Amino acid sequence: MKPRDGTRAWLGWVIGVTLTIGLVALVHFSVGWGPLLAPWLQVDPGTLAGAVLLVLITYAVRAIRIHHYFRPVTLGLFPRTFRIVLVHNLLNNLLPMRTGEASFPVLMAKGFQVPFSQSIPALLYLRLLDLFFVLLLGVTGLLLFKGSAAAFLVIGIAPTPYLFFRVQPRLAAKLEKRSSRLASMAREAIRGLPSSSALFWRTWTWTALNWSSKLLVLAWILTAFEPMPFSSALVGSTTGELSSVLPFHGLAGAGTYEAGVVAGLAPMGISLESALKAAVNLHLFVLGVSILAGAVAGLIPSPSHDSDKSPTTS
């Protein structure tokens, strides 16, 4: 590890711990942990169980997306794909600074022998697609709240991923004429992107289904923790998920996730105290489901324990 990398990692941990301590102190002195956690005793157990099940289903949808994206190497091995998604999600939610993202290419290399040169560009592409859909759904929630004719904004940005897909071949053709190391790396990265219209539309469909269902479930459970209009909860759950793009995070996202939720709820007319209570409880719910999903992953045989299949590349 380079000295600069070590300093950056050390700084990340310091900031992460500071944010976590700051959140704990803020809750303790402004709301109090007793009143904050009280909604857990008031939420209907059936509602809570239903929300947990629905979030687990969204993880399965995410696994289907990965399974389709990396075919044919994943063909017939969906449990292995599901396990990778659950472990990756757990590490992403628990480790600071989004360092859990680095586990995905490692897990794909171990589980399917997919080289980093394919898995890393694919992960970047899928994350950009995730970001796009989260923004799209957040704008939709905002429009529901405002009742504005700005719905044309949603219509305007919706085709963006498809337009990017269409220019891909032209970009690849231009890169073929260049012999620099940077051009070579760019060509390798493009090979990790959708190579056909069928793959693009499958990825688009599963991404849309995953995020629309997940954010709707998070908005639903948010209203169970703290009464508020559903449109406001949708904006809050969206901005909470968007906090993942920030350069710094508390331990397990503590502090930054709550700040993201509050940033979405406050302009919707939700009091800061109510917004903070809702944000912390939503984050605890997300972490709890992630840990439960990680336990489920432990029940799925790892690549070293099930029969391996010789991978092929497309």
According to the model, what pLDDT value does residue 28 have? 73
* pLDDT given at position 125: 84
Residue type at 284 in one-letter notation: L
Instruction: Tell me the two tokens of residue 276.
Output: 């903070």
pLDDT of residue 165: 73
pLDDT score of 147: 56
Q: Which residues of 248-266 are buried (b: 16+ CB within 10 A; e: fewer)?
A: bbbbbbbbbbbbbbbbbbb
- Asked if the structure places residue 126 within a domain, the reply is no
Q: Is residue 266 part of a domain?
A: yes
Report yes or no on 6 lying in a domain: no
Position 135 scores a pLDDT of 79
pLDDT on residue 253: 78
The pTM of this model reads 0.81
256-to-37, 84, 225, 248, 288 alpha-carbon distances in Å: 19, 26, 19, 8, 17
Report the domain count for the chain: 1
Instruction: Report the distance separating Cα 208 and Cα 88, nearest Å.
Output: 20
To 5 degrees, how large is the angle CA 268–CA 216–CA 231?
20
**What are residue 3's phi and psi, to 5 degrees?**
-55, -40
* pLDDT beneath 50, residues of the chain: 1, 305-307, 309-314
Residue 110 is part of which domain span? Answer: 25-116+132-163+196-298
CA-nearest of 165, 186, 164, 163 to 174 is 186
Cβ contact 192:122 at 8 Å: yes
Residue 228 located in a structural domain = yes
Q: Quick check: is 236 in a domain? A: yes
Return the pLDDT at 304. Answer: 56
For residue 144, being part of any structural domain is answered with: yes
Please indicate, yes or no, if residue 312 is contained in any of the structural domains.
no
- Whole-Å CA distances, 6 to 2, 16, 252: 6, 15, 20
**Residue 77, domain member (yes or no):** yes
The pLDDT value recorded for residue 306 is: 46
